[in-house]
Structure 1
Amino acid sequence: MILTVTLNAALDVTYFVDALVPRASHRVDALHERAGGKGVNVARVLAALGQPTMVTGLAGGPTGAALRGELRAVGLADELVPIAGDSRRTVTVVSREDGDATVFNQAGPTVQPDEWRAFTARYAQLVRDAEVVVLSGSLPPGLPDDAYAQLITLAAVADAATVLDTSGPALLAALDTGPDVVKPNAAELAAVTGHQDIAAGAAALRALGARAVVASCGPDGLYALTEQGSWRATPTERLSGNPTGAGDACVAALAAGLAAGTPWPGILREAVALSAAAVPCPVAGDFDADTYRRLRTAVPVEDIHATHTHP
């Protein structure tokens, strides 16, 4: 089982407009509302791949009840721990003209110390049955920067592998606990390391404790630096649509590959194919199955160095 953790779960609202024009009124021609947050999106992709998965995290208030109801409606098992505050909403505006997405993220409710203790106690039980734990997204107000570090430590005790997809202080605070994979994008990598060069930034995160770094470079694919070597994997075609779910699809592929024991080149090939297949879909958490099948055997993976010694 793959356990996905969403500490800042949300009800994702997506508006579709013909074109996004600053300082103008817009007619919304389609609207989607669904449970979200990065870990929830990862779980949706994993479930579509046939992977046993469980959603946990924090949810509260009327918005939390709505997102839990939507999870039940689509058959996603959840062990979200209740909190007093109302869960956040995110708003994404997708322009049909060019496929660009503009995202508005609320900070989320403040989590109280007793709520965090209740969550970590439940998480410590759930992680015993997990092969891989995915820890995704921002931390809500009230949680310490080392919240993910605490969860990675508990996963290690349970002998579960960890995939961490976060940024800023939460990412830096977790590195010395040795997450199995961290997945920053290029901007997040530069922000926490000061390196604009992807390879240098990945090496810096490895030096701080990450066992493997998979950096997403948008339409240019992935760069991976691991204990076994380093690779670049690039998509064979550019796809138009809504790119907001591509990173979560990538994380789903990384988690599934770790659970299956797939060698790194195969994991990266799947990750690029699956993230690219998410782009044509209107909302995060979905992917186009035909595109995924077409790309998964076509993605080239370049072996940059056969071996790499941990700094």
Structure 2
Amino acid sequence: MIITITPNPALDLTWHVDRLSPGATHRVPAGAARAGGKGLNAARVLHGTGHDVVALTTCGGRTGAEFRGELEASGIPHRLLPVGAATRRSVAIVDDASGEATVLNELGAPLSADEASALAGAAAEAVRTADVVAICGSLPPGFDADALGALVGALTAGGARVVVDTSDSGILAAARAGAHALKPNGEELAAATGHDDPIEGARALIALGARLVLVSLGADGLIVIGERGRPVHARLPSALHGNATGAGDAAVAAIAVELAAGDDLWSDTDAAADARARLARRATAWSASAVLMPLAGELSPDHPALADEVVVTTIDEDRR
């Protein structure tokens, strides 16, 4: 069982335009509204690929009611914790000509002390049935990096494998708490660690206590680095055109699947090296196939074929 935790969910609103012209008025087809946030997007991918998953998050206000209704209609198993403030909104305008998405993310209302405690308690309770827990997205006021670190520590102590996708001080706290895997993008990694080189940045997180780091690099693919062994780089031969909004969330789903398999991803052995290569291939293919879909949380039916196209290479750090 995989559980996704989204501390700061959003009602995702998405519109597609033929070509976005700043300052102009656009006539567009009807937009889409979905229960979103990184953990919800990862849960959609996992549910859609036939994996057992439960999405745990908060919900409140008028937007929360729409959030709840859409999530119930989706069929994704979930548990919603009521909060007093309205669930925030996230607006994405996708330019179909360029494939770029302009995203406006509301910050989200603070969680009260009781609400933050309820979220952490529900997560700790869920570990009784979960093999893997994925904690994804930004942290709302009232649930800070220290709270995240404490939650990661409690979950790992309870026997779950934990993957975290967040930024800033949160990713450092998750590393110090011994997260099994972290998934920053290149910009988030540089901002958190001060290292522009993704391998140096990933090594810094491992030195803090993380066991594996997957760094997503957009069109340049991704890098997977374990505690020991050589890093792995994976990418498609050419970049794909589309909406990259949910690509990182699909990579988190891929990490969760590999962690749930129970393989060693961090040792300096041939078996661990093979496991890291499988993870890199799956994460690259799932991220790329998410780019081909109009909404986050979906994979193109072509993702198995894309996996066959992924080029996986081992990086010799001594020769860099």
Identify which range, 98-107 or 57-66, moves more after superposition. Answer: 57-66
Q: How much does 1:29 deviate?
A: 2.4
Q: Secondary structure at the match of 2:246?
A: helix
Of 287, 293, 305 in structure 2, the residue corresponding to residue 281 of structure 1 is 293
Q: How much does 1:84 deviate?
A: 0.5
Q: How much does 1:144 deviate?
A: 2.2
1:236 aligns with 2:248: no
Identify which range, 209-218 or 228-237, moves more after superposition. Answer: 228-237
Partner Cα separation in structure 1 for residue 144 and residue 78 of structure 2: 24
Contact 1:147/1:170 (<8 A) preserved? no
User: Which structure 1 segments of 5+ residues have no match?
Assistant: none
Partner Cα separation in structure 1 for residue 122 and residue 142 of structure 2: 19
**2:276 alignment partner in structure 1:** 264
Partner Cα separation in structure 1 for residue 204 and residue 316 of structure 2: 17
Contact 1:236/1:295 (<8 A) preserved? no
Identify which range, 22-31 or 136-145, moves more after superposition. Answer: 22-31
1:293 aligns with 2:294: no
Q: Secondary structure at the match of 1:192?
A: helix
Partner Cα separation in structure 1 for residue 169 and residue 234 of structure 2: 28
Contact 1:92/1:102 (<8 A) preserved? yes
Partner Cα separation in structure 1 for residue 165 and residue 276 of structure 2: 18
**Structure 1 residues 24-173: aligned runs within 5 Å:** 24-173=24-173
Q: For residues 142-201 of structure 1, give each alpha carbon's deviation from its aligned partner in whole angstroms, at most 9, with x where no partner exists.
A: 222222212211211220001110000111222211100101100001111111111111
**Structure 1 residues 203-242: aligned runs within 5 Å:** 203-229=203-229, 230-242=231-243
Q: For residues 88-121 of structure 1, give each alpha carbon's deviation from its aligned partner in whole angstroms, at most 9, with x where no partner exists.
A: 0100000111111000000112100011112222
Partner Cα separation in structure 2 for residue 190 and residue 128 of structure 1: 35
Partner Cα separation in structure 1 for residue 131 and residue 7 of structure 2: 20
Partner Cα separation in structure 2 for residue 217 and residue 298 of structure 1: 18
Q: Secondary structure at the match of 2:286?
A: helix
Q: For residues 189-235 of structure 1, give each alpha carbon's deviation from its aligned partner in whole angstroms, at most 9, with x where no partner exists.
A: 11111111111111111111111111001011111110242111111
Partner Cα separation in structure 2 for residue 295 and residue 17 of structure 1: 27
Partner Cα separation in structure 2 for residue 288 and residue 12 of structure 1: 20
Contact 1:216/1:222 (<8 A) preserved? yes
Q: Residue type of the partner of 2:291?
A: V
Partner Cα separation in structure 1 for residue 5 and residue 253 of structure 2: 12
Partner Cα separation in structure 2 for residue 174 and residue 227 of structure 1: 15
Contact 1:68/1:78 (<8 A) preserved? no
Q: Secondary structure at the match of 2:135?
A: strand
Partner Cα separation in structure 1 for residue 290 and residue 37 of structure 2: 16
Q: How much does 1:306 deviate?
A: 9.9
Partner Cα separation in structure 1 for residue 177 and residue 62 of structure 2: 35
Q: Secondary structure at the match of 1:301?
A: strand
Partner Cα separation in structure 1 for residue 26 and residue 238 of structure 2: 32
**1:13 alignment partner in structure 2:** 13
Contact 1:17/1:30 (<8 A) preserved? no
Q: For residues 249-272 of structure 1, give each alpha carbon's deviation from its aligned partner in whole angstroms, at most 9, with x where no partner exists.
A: 011011101111351111110000
TM-score (norm 1): 0.95
The percentage of aligned residue pairs carrying the same residue is 46
Identify which range, 45-54 or 232-241, moves more after superposition. Answer: 232-241
How many pairs are equivalent? 306
Root-mean-square deviation (Å)? 1.5
Q: Residue type of the partner of 1:212?
A: L
Partner Cα separation in structure 2 for residue 270 and residue 43 of structure 1: 16
